[in-house]
Amino acid sequence: MVKILILVVLAEICTVIGQILFKKTTNTLEQRSLRGVHTHIQFLKDILIQPSIWFGFFSMAIGLVIWLIALAQADLSIVFPIGSLQYILVLFLAHILLGEKIDRMKFIGTFLVVFGIILITIS
Amino acid sequence: MKNNNLTLKIFALIVLNDIGDTIAQLLMKKGLVQTGISSVTFGNIIEFASRNILSGLLWLGILFYALNFFIWIIILYKIDLSIASPVGSTSYIFVPIVAMIFLHEHVSMLRWIGIIVIILGIHFVSQSKKPIEKAI
């Protein structure tokens, strides 16, 4: 059980760091409107040439492998409730590393989402 | 235009992303179960990996993840990560409801309460005040 807990939390940390790197990458792009196939392809190209997106992939890949190892030996009803802590991790790390604001609504909402997921997944 | 607001279009993209994620998870779980290894240790981790590398279902799951990545990047380009992330929990709402309608699965009272709590949470997050314009 402790082993599963450590695995899931480790997977969460890797995944969230990957997300932060993704968001950091999109934050570096200049503003543009996404209309039509061509602008979307150009957008994808501009994203994929950034090193930070690949560090993000790398971090997520490690997270995914750890997540798969946890999934293979534990029930979804154990892995998913612990996994919901990811949302709280995102809230605080996005604030610290990306400067995203935490206001009361976002704070309450995030904790409600986590609470709801725990209710659904433990049953 | 970049206004950091959770519009209906972005919400629809997030739901689409969740559907893709759910399909990917199911495919991978199915693929992993097929390998027949129930406990992963340092001793059999190589065998575990080499069996999975040949699993078609696992690769299909990974393909879904790749397509999903593109949708997710567009979402992230438009709104804050700390908004996109909790709103992305819609799969926890739709999966039980779809399972109930199409698979005639019983959804317990506790699950219904959980679903309502998540909807409330998403509502709260979507009401969060947006920064006027981020310094880029």
What confidence score (pLDDT) does residue B2 get?
47
Query: Does residue A59 surpass a pLDDT of 90?
Result: yes
Measure A112 CA to nearest chain B CA, in Å. Answer: 5
Measure A14 CA to nearest chain B CA, in Å. Answer: 15
Measure B40 CA to nearest chain A CA, in Å. Answer: 7
What confidence score (pLDDT) does residue B134 get?
47
Tell me which of A57, A60, A68 to substitute to probe the interface with B (most B C-beta atoms closer than 10 Å): A68
Is the backbone of residue B37 left (phi > 0), alpha (psi -120 to 50) or beta?
beta
Q: What is the pTM of this model?
A: 0.79
CA dihedral B29, B34, B40, B44 (to 10 degrees): -140
A window 60-99, beta carbon within 8 A of B: 68-69, 71-73, 76, 86-87, 90-91, 94-95, 98-99
Buried b (16+ CB within 10 A) or exposed e, B57-80: bbebbeebbeebbebbbbbbbbbb
Report yes or no: B18 and B64 within 8 Å, Cβ to Cβ. Answer: no
Pick B125's closest partner by Cβ from A33, A40, A110: A110
Query: Does residue A96 surpass a pLDDT of 70?
Result: yes
- CA-nearest residue of chain A to B70? A44
- A101 to B131: CB separation less than 8 angstroms, yes or no: yes
Task: Establish if A34 touches chain B: CB-CB under 8 angstroms.
Answer: yes
Mean pLDDT, 10 residues at a time, chain B of 136 residues: 69 91 80 70 76 80 87 91 91 78 82 93 85 47
- A101 to B48: CB separation less than 8 angstroms, yes or no: no
A115 contacts in chain B (CB < 8 Å): 117, 121
Count other Cβ atoms within 10 Å, centred on residue B30.
Answer: 14
